[in-house]
């Protein structure tokens, strides 16, 4: 029984702990905010009216950045992050490699930089440029561009291939609940989840999601574990995803798109949460789960203790006629009664059952000795009164008055009188010797069937003797 209660309590505890540890993880995936903008950057050609997201092969991009808008006016309401700390860096995503191209933009506080597209960005290649400062503050991401053939027949001599990192960070990239590898240029349902697990490298790890024309999303972990993100973008939006470690090794994938059909509940969130708020909600949910898990455990323990207390308090009575077999009385010591002697045989009548003994019993001790023994017995009783003893009163020939009164005296009915006897005595139900003669009587409480009354056997001659 105890093992069963313990197993159920352990199962309930694990179930509640699993549920309340699982809920905050999905909450974090859905509520990670975009980074605040610390500055803007742009490489729109001077004098152009409309933005066309194409560039020629080996074209030179003229980048400018600052806390104002592209036209030099203050970017009110857009730039809300901390002041940037330069130099700035370009993060360039392209599907020609699974590495992120990182380039330093200038050597100091300059806010201009000329960047020539690498030679291996051939016609048809798509790419996206994002900017950060030296401590990770974001300058946002531009839209996705496509490389078209150069208008010059000869490419510039200074146009050289890109210098990507030698080693790519090894990761596991999965989508949703599928255990297989996810496509690096696929369409994924809105509000579904992408999971990236670093298989090597040095913590901390940073997972970056870079949609077009919005600041990126960063998720950081101080240990090697799976980082997940829920796709909370409008239908058809493109994005890139990358992971980097503390040493600069990186992995990237894209362009990917938010598609369907899928549910869009994650798009209706009206509030983003900071990392501190997310951590507080996670810890609070965990403690709430532990508290709710302890409630059924405490209930089971209380029920168990209550049953144990009842089983200790409820003891079987030694006078309960329903008990079978010998029962040890609940006494501190065994009471000692005055010994009575009687003739060695008892006559049994076939019609009325056991009858009176043929001769009157005789006491072996005097009245003074009997009274002294009785007082000694009273003093030997424990402080808590035991169950009262039951005595059978047998009176013969004229109902002689009883000189010794004790509790629970049961009179025999008149049918048990014998005219040949004229004595009366009090017979305690207790210990008897083999040679004692006992009158076994019936009473309203079925005393003859009580386990404390010695059983009798009937011989072939009709005489009853006490059993050993």
If we measure between CA atoms, which residue out of 194, 292, 299, 205 comes closest to residue 244? 205
d(CA 292, CA 15): 11
Mean pLDDT of the chain: 71
Whether the pLDDT of residue 243 is over 60: the answer is yes
Could you tell me the pTM of the whole model?
A: 0.53
Residues 6+ apart with CB under 8 A from 254: 93, 95, 128, 184, 185, 210, 238, 239, 240, 241
Residue range 388-400: average pLDDT?
58
Report which listed range, 47-51, 111-115, 171-175, is most confident: 171-175
Q: Is the peptide bond before 255 cis (omega within 30 degrees of 0)?
A: yes
Residue range 455-466: average pLDDT?
45
Whether the pLDDT of residue 280 is over 50: the answer is yes
Which of the pair, 401 or 208, is modelled with greater confidence? 208
Angle between helices 275-313 and 2-31 (to 10 degrees): 170
419 DSSP 8-state letter: T
Which pair of structure tokens corresponds to residue 269?
Answer: 């969130």
The DSSP code sequence of 48-71 is -SS---EEETTPEEEEEEESB-TT
Which of the pair, 28 or 191, is modelled with greater confidence? 191
pLDDT at 15: 58
Which pair of structure tokens corresponds to residue 138?
Answer: 């974001």
Whether the pLDDT of residue 166 is over 70: the answer is yes
pLDDT category at 441 given cuts 50, 70, 90 is very low
Strand, coil or helix: 346: strand
pLDDT at 343: 45
pLDDT at 179: 81
Q: ∠192-193-196 over CA atoms, to 5°?
A: 160
pLDDT at 241: 97
The model's pLDDT over 6-27, given as tens digits with 9 standing for 90+, comes to 566 566 556 555 544 444 433 3
Which pair of structure tokens corresponds to residue 322?
Answer: 């329903």
d(CA 324, CA 210): 84
pLDDT at 46: 73
d(CA 228, CA 175): 9
d(CA 60, CA 116): 4
Whether the pLDDT of residue 372 is over 60: the answer is no
CB 50 within 8 A of CB 143: no
Q: What is the dihedral of CA 132, 135, 136, 141, to 10 degrees?
A: -10
pLDDT category at 165 given cuts 50, 70, 90 is confident
CB 94 within 8 A of CB 126: yes
Which pair of structure tokens corresponds to residue 429?
Answer: 């139900």
Q: Are strands 40-42 and 60-66 parallel, antiparallel or unpaired?
A: antiparallel
pLDDT at 415: 57
Whether the pLDDT of residue 429 is over 90: the answer is no
The model's pLDDT over 120-161, given as tens digits with 9 standing for 90+, comes to 999 999 999 999 999 999 999 999 999 999 999 899 999 999
């Amino acid at each position: 029984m105890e093992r069963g209660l313990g197993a159920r309590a352990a199962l309930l505890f694990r179930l509640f702990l699993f549920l309340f540890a699982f809920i905050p993880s999905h909450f974090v995936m859905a509520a990670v905010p975009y980074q605040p903008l610390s500055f803007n950057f742009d490489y729109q050609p001077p004098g152009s009216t409309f933005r066309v997201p194409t560039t020629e092969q080996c074209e030179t991009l003229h980048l400018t950045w600052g806390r104002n808008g592209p036209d030099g006016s203050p970017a009110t309401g857009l730039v809300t992050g901390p002041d940037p700390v330069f130099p700035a860096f370009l993060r360039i995503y392209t599907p020609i490699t699974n590495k992120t191209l990182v380039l330093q933009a200038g050597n100091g506080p300059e806010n201009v930089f000329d960047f020539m597209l690498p030679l291996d960005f051939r016609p048809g290649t798509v790419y996206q440029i994002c900017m950060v400062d030296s401590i990770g503050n974001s300058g946002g991401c531009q839209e996705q561009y496509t490389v078209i053939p150069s208008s010059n027949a000869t490419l510039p001599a200074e146009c050289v291939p890109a210098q990507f990192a030698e080693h790519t960070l090894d990761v596991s990239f999965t989508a949703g609940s599928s255990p297989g590898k996810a496509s690096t240029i696929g369409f994924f349902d809105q509000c579904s989840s992408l999971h990236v697990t670093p298989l090597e490298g040095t913590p901390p790890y940073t997972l970056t999601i870079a949609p077009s024309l919005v600041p990126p999303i960063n998720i950081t972990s101080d240990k090697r574990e799976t980082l997940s993100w829920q796709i909370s973008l409008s239908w058809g939006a493109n994005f890139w995803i990358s992971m980097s470690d503390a040493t600069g090794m990186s992995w990237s994938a894209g362009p990917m798109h938010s598609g369907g059909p899928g549910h869009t509940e994650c798009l209706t969130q009206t509030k983003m949460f900071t990392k501190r708020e997310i951590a507080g909600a996670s810890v609070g949910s965990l403690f709430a789960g532990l508290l709710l898990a302890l409630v059924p455990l405490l209930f089971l323990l209380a029920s168990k203790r209550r049953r144990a207390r009842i089983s200790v308090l409820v003891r079987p009575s030694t006078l309960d006629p329903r008990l079978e077999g010998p029962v040890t009385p609940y006494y501190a010591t065994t009471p000692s009664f005055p010994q009575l002697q009687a003739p060695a045989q008892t006559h049994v009548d076939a019609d009325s059952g056991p009858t009176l003994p043929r001769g009157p019993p005789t006491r072996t001790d005097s009245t003074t000795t009997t009274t002294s023994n009785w007082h000694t017995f009273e003093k030997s009783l424990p402080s808590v009164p035991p169950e009262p003893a039951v005595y059978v009163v047998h009176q013969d020939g004229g109902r002689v008055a009883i000189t010794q009164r004790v509790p629970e005296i049961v009179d025999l009915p008149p049918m048990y009188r014998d005219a040949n006897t004229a004595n009366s005595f009090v017979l305690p139900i207790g210990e008897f010797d083999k040679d004692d003669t006992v009158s076994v009587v019936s009473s309203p409480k079925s005393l003859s069937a009580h386990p404390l009354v010695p059983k009798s056997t009937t011989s072939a001659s009709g005489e009853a003797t006490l059993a050993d």
